Chains A and B, each alone.
Chain A
């Protein structure tokens, strides 16, 4: 197939009028045959066939064409020409249908278009505005309408809105890294059960970890405090350990204050009180304030681990996964043992992997030997 292109006819004219097309479509032409006459503002120019073939005009007489546009096609065979015609007809029908569906509706300003895409307004919604040009301000009403029309309106609770603000701030401001370790916990579980029986209270990782974390503060100060101005680390005045609690009434992070000074018995007592408050949603401000490191408890069965956020103003959060069992070889014997995943999300601006591994290794040792350390 050969294209007959509109040539640059003179320095000034970028377009011309097709004065006449001299051959009907599908005529056999030979090189040198007169195909069409073009008229510019200055002259009339004849267009001749460069090669022999079957002629198929794309422009009509009296139409205007620009330099470089295709005036006509010349096909080597009639079959080729017919195949082209069929495709072209299908394409133009599709284009016409598209124009019909788009025409007479509306046009969106660029701002409105971006907003409409964001909220995925339908063509019905947009045409209901009955405007030729839809501006951003027109769409506010549409959004309101949609909210009113929505069958169920589910506003977030006050507590969840606070959670939303906190997690958003965390994700936006703290570049976080995460480390995950296995902790073998048969001994610790036995120790917790024993202590729980003695105190007639539930003793779990939430009760045990605050004390263990407090013991590591002097060795790993950078995980107990906050980063100021991206340049200075400020150690916390007290080792206040937050523990996540969600009794189904919303997520709370109450704080065990001065965990370094509190006995495991005292921590257990405070945690029992906090669980009660979590159920009632009756925390007071001071219960939730001033944490310097946090433990995220996710000990439900089969939870492998969670990747916690880091609370703004802190540099690390631990996560405790569910207890699992595995088979282990010990002195050539297969035995069953329990383990869990202990994770540490840390602010990478303050702490690096080496530090985090050292910290988590020390914590793991202490946790694994928890039962042994208990006074009888």
Chain B
């Protein structure tokens, strides 16, 4: 029997298992009920099984996130389905000023377990207001954790981990990869395998088995991880450049200590993010990494973002704005060029 499982099936299965195990877990959001089951079918089937615990809301992001926050304070564990992550802008006030603040604003720590699942990112031709990568707007907010869906990390463990934080958590889910397969049993592809790094297996580290020390380490959240692997496969075959790819589940707060050894060993780091530059996750990580790379041989960090542009709806224009595999390849090649002596 094949143990291949699509990411959307894995995520749906994780939600179902959580609901089965814990009566406090509820799901709410737009169009989450049968027969639609969410715009990306992640909640499909849940309302049939748990009609009382799946709540279809009106188009009212600010309202239902506020409501979910209150439910959480009162002992429930809401999993909010944000149809498109662009809409989190409408819910920014309850997330920033109510949910995250409530955890530590009242003299003693209050428990506010809540997950806001956001279908995120482009590559689907959905246009400027349904394709953005919104992670960076949620970085650095006290009591608010930011996670990203990845083909490495089993979603039951990830959702469980978020709820155990007992504070609001954003979960950004790259829409493009919903239909991709999960990487299982340490295998990514014919060439690449992966191992876990760090506390709670936060980092998946993909590499060709025999690669002891990579020449370039790519840091990339889960959304573009598969694209980075495809680029790395081309780079080894076409250029003989050995690349490792480190993919975190939790983006903020981010423990870079877990992958520091690999980063220092490689010396050359490429940070790949689908979102635009300017106050991004990758920029924060780069700042943390720099002091460790200084003085090493060829220590260099490059950041790769999508172009600072709105995202066009037509797919062939969208391609010019969003990161593509060849951008990753070109950036790694740039990193490998001999550095001028400083």
Query: In the complex, A111 Cα to B240 Cα: how many Å?
Result: 8
Tell me which residues from 56 to 93 in chain B have a Cβ below 8 Å from any Cβ of chain A.
none
Given the interface pairs A132-B210, A133-B208, the reply to whether A107 lies near B238 with Cβ below 8 Å is: no
State whether B125 touches A136 (Cβ < 8 A): no
Tell me which residues from 149 to 208 in chain B have a Cβ below 8 Å from any Cβ of chain A.
179, 190-191, 208
The chain B residue sitting closest to A12, CB to CB, is B125
Cβ-based interface call for A263 (8 A): no
The chain A residue sitting closest to B237, CB to CB, is A109
Given the interface pairs A132-B191, A132-B208, the reply to whether A109 lies near B236 with Cβ below 8 Å is: yes
Query: In the complex, A109 Cα to B232 Cα: how many Å?
Result: 12
**Given the complex, which residues of A lie within 8 Å of B238, measured CB to CB?**
109-110
State whether B240 touches A109 (Cβ < 8 A): yes
**Given the complex, which residues of B lie within 8 Å of A111, measured CB to CB?**
240
Contact with A along B221-241 (1 / 0, CB 8 A): 000000000000000111110
State whether B124 touches A12 (Cβ < 8 A): yes
Cβ-based interface call for B20 (8 A): no
Number of A residues with CB within 8 Å of any CB on chain B: 18
The chain A residue sitting closest to B211, CB to CB, is A133
Tell me which residues from 116 to 162 in chain A have a Cβ below 8 Å from any Cβ of chain B.
131-133, 135-137
Cβ-based interface call for A11 (8 A): yes
The chain A residue sitting closest to B192, CB to CB, is A132
- Could you say which of B125, B209, B237 contacts A107, with CB atoms under 8 Å apart? B237
Query: In the complex, A103 Cα to B191 Cα: how many Å?
Result: 11
The chain B residue sitting closest to A131, CB to CB, is B210
**Given the complex, which residues of A lie within 8 Å of B240, measured CB to CB?**
109, 111-112, 135-137
Cβ-based interface call for A87 (8 A): no
Cβ-based interface call for A64 (8 A): yes
- Could you say which of A11, A14, A64, A133 contacts B237, with CB atoms under 8 Å apart? A133
Cβ-based interface call for B314 (8 A): yes
Cβ-based interface call for A172 (8 A): no
Tell me which residues from 266 to 322 in chain B have a Cβ below 8 Å from any Cβ of chain A.
314-315
**Given the complex, which residues of B lie within 8 Å of A107, measured CB to CB?**
190-191, 237
Cβ-based interface call for A232 (8 A): no
**Given the complex, which residues of A lie within 8 Å of B237, measured CB to CB?**
107-110, 133
Given the interface pairs A109-B240, A133-B236, the reply to whether A11 lies near B314 with Cβ below 8 Å is: yes
Given the interface pairs A64-B179, A107-B190, A109-B238, the reply to whether A133 lies near B124 with Cβ below 8 Å is: no
Given the interface pairs A132-B209, A133-B191, A133-B208, the reply to whether A12 lies near B236 with Cβ below 8 Å is: no
**Given the complex, which residues of B lie within 8 Å of A12, measured CB to CB?**
124-126, 315
Tell me which residues from 277 to 304 in chain A have a Cβ below 8 Å from any Cβ of chain B.
none
**Given the complex, which residues of B lie within 8 Å of A137, measured CB to CB?**
240
B316 to chain A, nearest CB (A): 11
- Could you say which of B125, B190, B236 contacts A11, with CB atoms under 8 Å apart? B125
A149 to chain B, nearest CB (A): 24
Binding site for A on B (CB under 8 A): 124-126, 179, 190-191, 208-210, 236-240, 314-315
Closest 7 pairs (CB-CB, A-B): A12-B125, A109-B240, A135-B240, A109-B237, A133-B208, A133-B236, A110-B238
